[in-house]
Chains A and B, each alone.
Chain A
Amino acid sequence: MSEQIEKVSIVVSRGSLEGVYPGLIMANGARMEGIEATLFFTFFGLDAIIEKRMDSLSVATVGNAAMRMPGGLKMPTWLGAIPGMSRFATTMMKKEMEKIDIPPIREFIEMIKDAGTEFYACKATVDMFHLTKNDFCSQVDDIISVGQFYEKSAGAQIIFT
């Protein structure tokens, strides 16, 4: 058997619900396999760890050519722009995720933190958006530069989402 993965560094760069979950699921999955995990949030991905925003992430329905309606019919992209569509898609997705035991963002982040994952916010974005450490949920360890991110990722596989 080839060498096992010992450590992963996962970058979350998007702030939509479907943009944030893959990184969280991969971090949690890594810990479940005994792999060390670090999460680094950058650009709009920061919304997932901003105390006041993390409970209201939503599905992006505009510009998603793969979007389907309930029943499986392809959704015309212009339909995604109709008011209420994103809220509807978000409700649907949350409902389906709950069925397969995927927790809401806040609960998931608590769980992943308790599993021993480190959480970092990207300094450049934090400065650009005029944020401070106080804006983030308590699970965030620190605000770090990209250089520090690479230092912390020594020996890790880096995954960009």
Chain B
Amino acid sequence: METVELVGKKLELDADGHLKNLNDWNEEVAKEFAKLEGLQELNDRHWIVINYMRKVYEEKGDAPSIRKLTKESGVDTKELYALFPKGPAKKAAKIAGLPKPKGCI
């Protein structure tokens, strides 16, 4: 089992390197994950995306697609890629403590 030591705790990861247990997540964990992904700081816009993703995951059981993010989170595609360079949906899901999104879009 892969683990990562963050905020003084050993946290279990899934095969994609995302957090295994949703309950291990908190804002401090998110900030640490962000650093691992090369984002030194999370601003208000990052948090809008992260919180929106967690909300959708709680309701639907899967992280939202880029299209849903663009249409509903209030952050458009261009900004999404600027906030989370190299793969916003995947990166934001990781920081939000969610599994890698299953959808293709």
Contact A32 B70 (CB under 8 A): no
Residues of A within 8 A of B103 (CB): 100-101
Taking chain B's interface residues, is the majority helix, strand, or loop, or is none over half, making it mixed? helix
Q: How many residues of B contact A (CB 8 A)?
A: 18
Instruction: List B contacts of A110 (CB < 8 A).
Output: 77
Q: Which residues of A contact B45 (CB under 8 A)?
A: none
Produce 1/0 per residue, A103-118, CB < 8 A to B: 1000100110011100
Are B67 and A111 within 8 A (Cβ)?
A: yes
Most buried by A among B66, B81, B87: B66
The complex places the Cα of A101 from the Cα of B103 at a distance, in Å, of: 9
Chain A residue with the shortest CB-CB distance to B89: A32
In the complex, residue of chain B having the shortest beta-carbon distance to the beta carbon of A33 = B87
Q: Are A28 and B66 in contact (CB under 8 A)?
A: yes
Q: Does B68 contact A (CB under 8 A)?
A: yes
Give the interface residue-count category, chain A: 10 to 19
| B90 neighbours in A (Cβ, 8 Å) | 32-34
Interface residue? A124 (CB, 8 A): no
User: Given the complex, which residues of A lie within 8 Å of B36, measured CB to CB?
Assistant: none
**Residues in A11-36 with C-beta less than 8 Å from chain B:** 25, 28-29, 31-34
Whether B81 pairs with A116 at a CB distance below 8 angstroms is yes
In the complex, the chain A residue whose C-beta lies closest to that of B78 is A114
Contact pattern, B 71-101, Cβ under 8 Å of A = 1, otherwise 0:
0000011100100011111100000000000
A116 partner residues in chain B, CB cutoff 8 A: 81
B105 within 8 A of A: yes
Least CB separation from B88: chain A residue: A32
What residues of chain A lie closer than 8 Å to B66, measured between beta carbons? 28, 32, 111, 115
Q: How far is the CA of A110 from the CA of B66 in the complex (A)?
A: 12
Whether A65 is near chain B, meaning CB under 8 Å from some CB there, is no
Q: Is the CB of A29 within 8 A of B87?
A: no
Residue in chain B with minimal CB distance to A107: B67
A101 touches B105 (CB 8 A): yes
B87–A32 CB distance below 8 A: yes
Give A contacts to B, CB under 8 Å.
25, 28-29, 31-34, 100-103, 107, 110-111, 114-116
Binding site for A on B (CB under 8 A): 65-68, 70, 76-78, 81, 85-90, 103-105
